[in-house]
């Protein structure tokens, strides 16, 4: 079966499961009436805007109070030391939401556009580690131990920064990415990205080095990225010499644990 | 009343605007949710709630943009959450396994097979065996025909990750729909992971 045929089968399935005469409006209207009966204004819940706005004002007040508190804290020398000392490899955002990012506004490419290979995608990672190392011009470390559920899928190089990536696939779904980037100034470290304000970042030992571990992901929404503390995505970051390293596992939380990530990190040669 | 008028009315607090949006978009939303959660009643509940929430949050919607992608993202998100809770919507029992077909061979299938209900049912059962995010990726790509960039927005993941989900989903579907292989060919697959947790193909 080719893709077009699969599309036709999906349409058949959809039409079979939900015939065209489906009408949700009576049920939705009934639910709105129920909520109308439960609201003091007796208005349909579309006009629950007032409550929503009141909630927003309260949230904004709390957020401003928190920001003012953090601002005051950071204004003191102790506060600045605290802020710098808490996280080394992760940068904590001021909140769990970020403004809409410029790349989110980029127009969707048309079908005629020839897609450029994405070094961040396992599907475009067609190089060997040796080939990446040769092109990168720095020693690319490789794990000498991996959880048995993972197998090598490919490697890629993003030459501008430069960042080497080695991908390990989990059976059928998701997997592990090892990213390595030489850097000399903190502001050049592409791997020292932000986590949400509520992220639990844990300091861990990796051999003699100290690293940081966090679980969570920035989810894209129309109003910008929103941080979610989601164990489906685990990230471990540390530094070896002038190289920033990151292990990121995406997949079922029990398939690869924090301890596994540390063991992989300790095995790098 | 068209979409823009409906949204303008809804922004003024008039639920009549919502009725128009329901009439315009309920079918695709309901079918999308049903393909992801595998249950019509649950899909109806998800879509009803999504419409009510859309009505409540319409102030946050940018009227210059089309409503449907914004709304479908919410439906897909809720459907994945619901599907995650139920893990999978069907099980391949012993006598169903014999009916699997070599459906994802890139070669075109004979037309009569594409139109055969047995084929649809085999795909339906295989879909039910996929992890929720992979199932959603298949639905978005092959039912809604979304490009990967739109899928990334709907599935709340970077494009590379979404490509990965789709690739993994197709591989998994292929395995589920492939006729049974010789034991030595299928027994050596390494690892456990989600494949085994969600039942695998055996």
Write the ipTM.
0.77
Q: Where are the alpha helices (DSSP H) in B87-191?
A: 94-97, 111-114, 117-128, 132-138, 148-155, 159-177, 183-186
Residue A40 has pLDDT above 70, yes or no: no
Could you tell me which residues are beta bridge partners of residue A215? Answer: A234
Q: Which of A31, A52, A108 is the closest to B52 by Cβ?
A: A31
| Residues on chain B touching A150 (C-beta within 8 angstroms) | 191
Nearest 5°: CA angle at A46, between A19 and A55? Answer: 125
| Residues on chain B touching A174 (C-beta within 8 angstroms) | 164-165, 168, 193-194
- What is the chain B residue with the closest CA to A117? B160
Instruction: Give B89's pLDDT tier (boundaries 50, 70, 90).
Output: very low
Within 10 A of B124 (CB to CB), how many other CB atoms are there?
20
Instruction: Give B85's pLDDT tier (boundaries 50, 70, 90).
Output: confident
Asked if B35 lies within 8 A of A14 by C-beta distance, the reply is: yes
Which is more confident, A118 or A4? A4
CA distances from A265 to A103, A262, B165 (A): 32, 5, 25
| Residues on chain A touching B48 (C-beta within 8 angstroms) | 24, 27-28, 31
**By mean pLDDT, which of A118-132, B9-23, B80-94, B132-146 is the weakest?**
B80-94
- What is the chain B residue with the closest CA to A119? B160
Report the pLDDT value the prediction gives residue A108, as an integer from 0 to 100: 47
Mean pLDDT of A207-225: 82
**By mean pLDDT, which of A92-96, A173-177, B154-158, B195-199 is the weakest?**
B195-199
Which is more confident, A13 or A101? A13
- Highest average pLDDT, of A190-194, B1-5, B93-97, B141-145, comes from B141-145
Asked if A172 lies within 8 A of B194 by C-beta distance, the reply is: yes
Asked if B104 lies within 8 A of A5 by C-beta distance, the reply is: no
The secondary structure of residue A250, as a DSSP letter, is E
Coil/strand/helix, residue A218: strand
| Residues on chain A touching B32 (C-beta within 8 angstroms) | 14
Q: How many H helices and E strands in chain B?
A: 12, 0
| Residues on chain A touching B157 (C-beta within 8 angstroms) | 217, 219-220
- What is the chain B residue with the closest CA to A49? B56
- What is the chain A residue with the closest CA to B170? A172
* CB burial of residue B7 (10 Å; 0-12, 13-18, 19+): buried
| CB–CB contacts below 8 A, A to B | 200
CB B144 within 8 A of CB B68: no
Nearest-Cα distance to chain B for A249, in Å, is 12
Q: Which of B23, B104, B192 is the closest to A149 by Cβ?
A: B192
Report the pLDDT value the prediction gives residue A2, as an integer from 0 to 100: 73
Q: Which of A24, A48, A171 is the closest to B195 by Cβ?
A: A171
**By mean pLDDT, which of A143-152, A188-197, A254-263 is the weakest?**
A188-197
Instruction: Give A76's pLDDT tier (boundaries 50, 70, 90).
Output: low
Residue B197 has pLDDT above 60, yes or no: no
Distance CA A24, CA B43 (A): 11
Asked if A28 lies within 8 A of B108 by C-beta distance, the reply is: no
Distance CA A195, CA A192 (A): 9
| Residues on chain A touching B165 (C-beta within 8 angstroms) | 173-174
As a whole-number percent, the residues of chain B with pLDDT over 90 amount to 30
- What is the chain B residue with the closest CA to A107? B149
Nearest-Cα distance to chain B for A80, in Å, is 33
Residue A120 has pLDDT above 50, yes or no: yes
Distance CA B135, CA B81 (A): 12
Q: For residue A204, which of A245, A248, A237 has the smallest C-alpha distance?
A: A237
Residue B101 has pLDDT above 50, yes or no: no
Instruction: Give A257's pLDDT tier (boundaries 50, 70, 90).
Output: very high
B56's tokens: 């409540």
Pairing of the two strands A243-250 and A217-219: unpaired
Mean pLDDT of B15-19: 90
CB A197 within 8 A of CB A94: yes
The pLDDT tens digits of the residues spanning B39-64 come to: 999 999 999 999 999 998 888 888 88
Which is more confident, A36 or A182? A182
CB A255 within 8 A of CB B193: yes
Provide CB contacts within 8 A for B21, sequence distance 6+: B3, B6, B7, B10, B51, B54, B67, B71
Asked if B120 lies within 8 A of A223 by C-beta distance, the reply is: no
Asked if B189 lies within 8 A of A219 by C-beta distance, the reply is: no
**By mean pLDDT, which of A148-162, B17-31, B167-181 is the weakest?**
B167-181
Instruction: Give A194's pLDDT tier (boundaries 50, 70, 90).
Output: confident
Which is more confident, A105 or B114? B114
Which is more confident, B188 or B164? B164
Coil/strand/helix, residue B187: coil
Dmax (CA) for chain A in angstroms is 71
Coil/strand/helix, residue B170: helix
Report the pLDDT value the prediction gives residue B159, as an integer from 0 to 100: 73
Distance CA B46, CA A81 (A): 48
The secondary structure of residue A202, as a DSSP letter, is E
Asked if B120 lies within 8 A of A9 by C-beta distance, the reply is: yes
């Amino acid at each position: 079966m080719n893709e077009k045929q699969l599309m036709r089968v999906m349409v058949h399935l959809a039409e079979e499961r939900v015939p065209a005469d489906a009408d949700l409006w009576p049920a939705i209207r009934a639910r709105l009436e129920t909520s109308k009966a439960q609201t003091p204004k007796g208005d349909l819940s579309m006009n629950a805007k007032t409550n929503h706005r009141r909630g927003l004002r309260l949230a904004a007040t709390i957020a401003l109070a928190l920001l003012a508190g953090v601002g005051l804290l950071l204004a003191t020398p102790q506060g600045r030391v605290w802020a710098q000392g808490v996280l080394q490899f992760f940068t904590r955002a001021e909140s769990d939401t970020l403004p809409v990012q410029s790349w989110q506004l980029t127009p969707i490419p048309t079908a005629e556009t020839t897609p450029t290979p994405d070094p961040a995608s396992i599907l475009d990672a067609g190089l060997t580690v040796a080939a990446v190392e040769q092109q990168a011009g720095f020693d690319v470390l490789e794990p000498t131990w991996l959880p048995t559920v993972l197998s090598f899928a490919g490697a890629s190089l993003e030459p501008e920064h430069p960042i080497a990536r080695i991908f390990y696939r989990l059976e059928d779904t998701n997997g592990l990415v090892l990213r390595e980037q030489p850097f000399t100034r903190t502001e050049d470290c592409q791997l020292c990205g932000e986590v949400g304000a509520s992220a639990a970042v844990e300091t861990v030992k990796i051999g003699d080095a100290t690293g940081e571990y966090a679980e969570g992901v920035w989810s894209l929404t129309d109003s910008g990225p929103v941080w979610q503390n989601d164990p489906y995505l685990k990230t471990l970051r540390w530094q070896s010499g002038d190289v920033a390293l990151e292990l990121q596992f995406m997949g079922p939380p029990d398939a690869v644990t924090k301890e596994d990530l540390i063991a992989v990190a300790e095995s790098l040669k | 009343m068209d979409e823009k008028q409906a949204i303008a009315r809804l922004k003024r607090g008039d639920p009549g605007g919502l009725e128009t949006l329901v009439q315009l978009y309920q079918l695709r939303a309901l079918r999308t949710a049903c393909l992801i959660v595998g249950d019509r009643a649950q899909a109806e509940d998800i879509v009803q709630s999504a419409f009510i929430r859309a009505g409540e949050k319409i102030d946050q919607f940018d009227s210059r943009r089309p409503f449907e992608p914004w709304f479908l993202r919410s439906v897909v998100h809720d459907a994945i959450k619901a599907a995650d809770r139920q893990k999978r919507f069907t099980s391949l029992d012993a006598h169903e396994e014999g009916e699997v077909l070599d459906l994802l061979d890139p070669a075109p299938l004979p037309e009569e097979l594409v139109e055969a209900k047995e084929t649809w049912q085999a795909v339906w059962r295989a879909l039910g065996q996929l992890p929720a995010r992979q199932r959603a990726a298949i639905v978005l790509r092959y039912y809604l025909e979304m490009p990967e960039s739109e899928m990334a927005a709907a599935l709340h993941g970077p494009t590379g990750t979404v490509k990965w989900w789709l690739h993994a989903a197709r591989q998994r579907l292929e395995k589920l729909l492939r006729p049974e292989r010789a034991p030595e060919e299928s027994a050596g697959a390494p690892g456990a992971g989600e494949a085994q947790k969600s039942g695998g193909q055996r």
